Structure 1
């Protein structure tokens, strides 16, 4: 069994972060979100992985390499532009051959991994198996409608009017039967080859298509709020470890991970928090569910429930919450403007101005 990891999407919902970085490499707890998916695939006993890449191919290839760091053998598959999930299957046809495969969206995050799901698929071997979860806004996802027996009868990609709250999680399992379905469908109104249409074709042909509703944690980390929430979940399992330098005037409370080379001076850190190598925290407060990557500076500031990417500087700005701070960003106080009032008042007016 192989895996097909999709990492060609440009990540428009994470602009401006993804103007200069692949969205699959934006970190959760100081590790690229893509790494969590690759580790889940390796834990499921899959060794051969094709990664579909687009405009950010060089970044992803540099970070992932040949996959040996994850116990994988990686092949990179070029996609000229993201034309749908089924299109990714189409361009990966030579790599996939006649093998069963897992398709995993590189910006998705599934707590607990997929090993059990892959084991069930290998044992039962339906022609397709999809994962579903209940969401509050189905219009942002592919949506599945089930019959009274729990069988999927209808699928729709990002519907304006939805008849179900069951969204497709970005993990699918297929036999080679999916290639016949991909060849049979046409581009949607969005101009893309939709995997929902391929699955619907299999259903309409009476093929064995199954689904599982997962109740564990899943996030499509395509926007800032979901990135922050995924970061929160990962940090909850963080183990306390202090490898950096912490002076006697600092207070470290709870599950805090400070990498070697980091320095904490006259500051208060309340976990769960992770601090990357060579970062300096001085005269500051870092609150729960915050990840600060390597080579950052936080001085005379407060930050909580946020993600700070490498080489960012936050100095003298008071409190920051629920934020995603990009690489080499500089956050500083604005110059104080002179205070003045400009008035045009009619006769007999009465004005009260706070001094």
Structure 2
């Protein structure tokens, strides 16, 4: 069975991280989100994949190529404009000739989740089979209403909590028959100006076609929608990783629990690392550092003397100067943090940290959340970033500056101070 993976979107809500890479190439647990999707397909018996691309399409092509290194045959088709999942599926019609798997390539899910949907479809041979998952906030998802056990009655996009027919969200894992293409041709644009695949599925159900649902465990699925979700996605990946220590560990370093140290990584004396954690290729940690659980230290990252890093993602080539603290934060590629840089991650009033997402202030519902830095950000010594701030790509934060609001890309923020020089009298 062939699989189609949707990977055309930009992931605007994850900026500044997605300003320089598509959402599908953001790494959690040392691998791009899309790679987890492809690995699940391969483990489910799928060997032919068609990826729908648009935003930074060439970056995705370069990363995954023809798929041989993943044991897959990968081809690509471009969605000309981002006008909905229904439109994205329609562009693959010339490339499929039988029932096919469809996955959203910006989600995390287990191999068992994919296998369960394929198995039910192959057993019952309905017009469509989809995965659903219980969620706490139905107002944030497409909600699926069932009847007669597992038969889909309809799908409501982001209903109010009071009007939601169930708490079962569309999980973005499907198997479709060729009938789906005719229904896509009959749907119209939504109020957002997009053609949604869920409208085509609802049309199948209304016409009496069999559309079946598989209910997943919440542990088998994770949605990545906001910047702080990347931290939870990183946790999800690290907790499922087969950890190995094969790098160079100096005497006096301590690794506690499940920790991966890649072959070319180095852990210097005095480092104390608590797992689950990842120290990737050519990373250099220490001496005398404290790496706390659920941290991913990316390729070629340098963490200097006497630093503490907690529940964070440090991307390729970033340098964290000595005496720094990085907590519950995401640092893009090739950032350079001066000595004593601190990402504050807790409010005085112990309230939830808020962050700007698509020009709206959003409650993260997290008591601990630090900063999100784009690529190539630099900070001077003793720079302080307050909880929930974002710094755009290529920006500079001067020494001793307190960053208390978002800083756009390619900006410089300096502290202006008044000084007085006096003659010292004996």
Confirm or deny a common fold (TM above 0.5): yes
Alignment match, 1:326: 332
Alignment match, 1:247: 250
Contact 2:7–2:104 (CA under 8 A) maintained in structure 1:
yes
In 1, the alpha carbon distance for the partners of 2:99 and 2:151 equals 22
Task: Give CA-to-partner distance per residue, 1:48-81, whole Å, 9 cap, x none.
Answer: 2110000211110001000112221111001122
Q: Offset at 1:218?
A: 0.5
Task: Give CA-to-partner distance per residue, 1:160-185, whole Å, 9 cap, x none.
Answer: 45332111001111000101110110
In 2, the alpha carbon distance for the partners of 1:202 and 1:237 equals 37
Q: Offset at 1:274?
A: 0.8
Task: Give CA-to-partner distance per residue, 1:248-280, whole Å, 9 cap, x none.
Answer: 122111111111221111311111111011111
In 2, the alpha carbon distance for the partners of 1:203 and 1:327 equals 46
In 2, the alpha carbon distance for the partners of 1:210 and 1:240 equals 37
1:107-256 to 2 correspondences below 5 Å: 107-113=106-112, 114-147=114-147, 149-160=149-160, 161-215=163-217, 216-256=219-259
Alignment match, 1:292: 297
In 1, the alpha carbon distance for the partners of 2:155 and 2:17 equals 32
Contact 2:117–2:129 (CA under 8 A) maintained in structure 1:
no
In 1, the alpha carbon distance for the partners of 2:323 and 2:17 equals 21
Q: Offset at 1:317?
A: 5.2
1:64-79 to 2 correspondences below 5 Å: 64-79=64-79
Alignment match, 1:260: 263
Contact 1:44–1:116 (CA under 8 A) maintained in structure 2:
no
Change (3 A) 1:240 1:41: closer
1:303-322 to 2 correspondences below 5 Å: 303-316=309-322, 318-322=324-328
Count of paired positions: 339
Alignment match, 1:348: none
Deviates further, 150-159 or 167-176: 150-159
In 2, the alpha carbon distance for the partners of 1:120 and 1:146 equals 16
In 2, the alpha carbon distance for the partners of 1:196 and 1:108 equals 17
Unaligned runs of 5+ in 1: 342-355
**SS of the residue aligned with 1:139?**
helix
Q: Offset at 1:285?
A: 0.9
Contact 1:6–1:51 (CA under 8 A) maintained in structure 2:
yes
Alignment match, 2:34: 34
Deviates further, 154-163 or 84-93: 154-163
Contact 1:170–1:220 (CA under 8 A) maintained in structure 2:
no
Deviates further, 295-304 or 326-335: 326-335
Q: Provide the alpha-carbon RMSD of the alignment.
A: 2.0
In 1, the alpha carbon distance for the partners of 2:144 and 2:297 equals 38
2:304 corresponds to 1:302: no
